[in-house]
Amino acid sequence: MEGRRSTGGRLSTNAELRANCAQCHGLCCVALPFTASADFAVDKPAGRPCANLLADSRCGVHADLRGRGFAGCTVFDCFGAGQKVSQVTFGGRDWREDDEAARRMFAVFPIMRDLHEVLWYLAEALARPEAAPVHGELRRVLDEVEDLTRGTPEEVAEADVAAVRGRVGPLLARTGDLVRAGVPGRGRDHRGADLAGARLRNADLRGARLRGALLIAADLRGADLRAADLLGADLRDADLRGADLTGCLFLTQPQLNAARGDAATRTPAALRRPAHW
């Protein structure tokens, strides 16, 4: 049976928002396109299986993705959308079984991924005790978005992600304000700033507003980023060796995977230390 309606229960943990490739049918390796570049060794159009995808939906070069020229794959994270589409939206059906079902799966997957990313941010905001004044609204919106992700393929495909983000954005901004209220000096405001290649070694960026900032290849070695708002910040090749990211706001696994770090980098407990660090 395709699609299941939510019972109204809120996600109690973020376990459902972590990729579980064993419960997916390799959707990210088929549905999404990629272009030959520093991140991908070859071109691949949307809807065509990657040449490295095996019959059992595993990656044939997973252990050496970066060495084979597929660094982009190590950065991507579906926030659990793959298993949601495979096991819930399409009730366990494999895209290999039916061309029409495959077409619908590939259309739904990127939308589900965006919705699951929103759920990740909402779940993080709800885990912040400082954000208690907005917890009620956060729970209501989370329930509504989760219910949307459990709709039929047609309902998910028609989801207005921009409208969802528009509603969630102010709640996340309010969460950030509440968390930073206890930070001395309240932090610097670098929202949307171009800090590509910036020399920020050992910088005190506690509580800084870095939402949407370009931090590509920035030197953040030893920087203090506790309680900094990193929502949407571009951390590709940013040097985070020795940096302290504990308690930072809205950092995601893809952002962390895109950066460089080491054993001395302190990361949020909810995220995994990238294997290439």
| Two tokens, residue 217 | 């290849």
Per-residue pLDDT, averaged over 142-169, amounts to 96
Average pLDDT, the chain: 92
| Residue ranges of domains in the chain | 15-32+76-178, 186-277
Residue 88 makes CB contacts below 8 A (sequence gap 6+) with: 3, 4, 149, 150
The pLDDT of residue 1 is: 44
| Two tokens, residue 140 | 């209501």
Higher pLDDT, 79 or 13: 79
The pLDDT of residue 6 is: 40
pLDDT at 4 over 50: no
pLDDT at 226 over 80: yes
DSSP of 116-141, one letter per residue? HHHHHHHHHHHT-GGGGGGHHHHHHH
DSSP conformation class of 258: H
The pLDDT of residue 182 is: 82
Query: CA 254, CA 144: separation in Å to the nearest integer?
Result: 25
> How far apart, in Å, are the Cα atoms of 110 and each of 33, 131, 231?
11, 30, 19
What phi and psi values does residue 233 have, to the nearest 5 degrees?
-70, 140
Per-residue pLDDT, averaged over 34-62, amounts to 93
The pLDDT of residue 16 is: 86
- Residue 165, classified by CB atoms within 10 Å of its CB into exposed (0-12), middle (13-18) or buried (19+), is middle
The pLDDT of residue 214 is: 98
The pLDDT of residue 197 is: 98
Q: Residues of the chain with pLDDT > 90: what percent? A: 88
The pLDDT of residue 183 is: 86
Model confidence band, residue 2 (pLDDT cutoffs 50, 70, 90): low
Q: What pTM was computed for the model?
A: 0.91
DSSP conformation class of 31: T
Q: If we measure between CA atoms, which residue out of 119, 84, 82, 79 comes closest to residue 253?
A: 79
pLDDT tens profile 176-218: 999 998 888 667 899 999 999 999 999 999 999 999 999 999 9
Residue 91 makes CB contacts below 8 A (sequence gap 6+) with: 1, 2, 3
Model confidence band, residue 8 (pLDDT cutoffs 50, 70, 90): very low
* Amino acid at site 125: A
The pLDDT of residue 15 is: 74
Q: Candidates 3.30.420.280, 2.30.30.60, 2.160.20.80, 3.40.50.720; correct CATH number of 186-277? A: 2.160.20.80
CA angle, 131 as apex, 148 and 210 as ends, to 5°? 85
* Crossing angle (nearest 10°) for helices 99-126 and 135-149: 170
Query: CA 145, CA 41: separation in Å to the nearest integer?
Result: 36
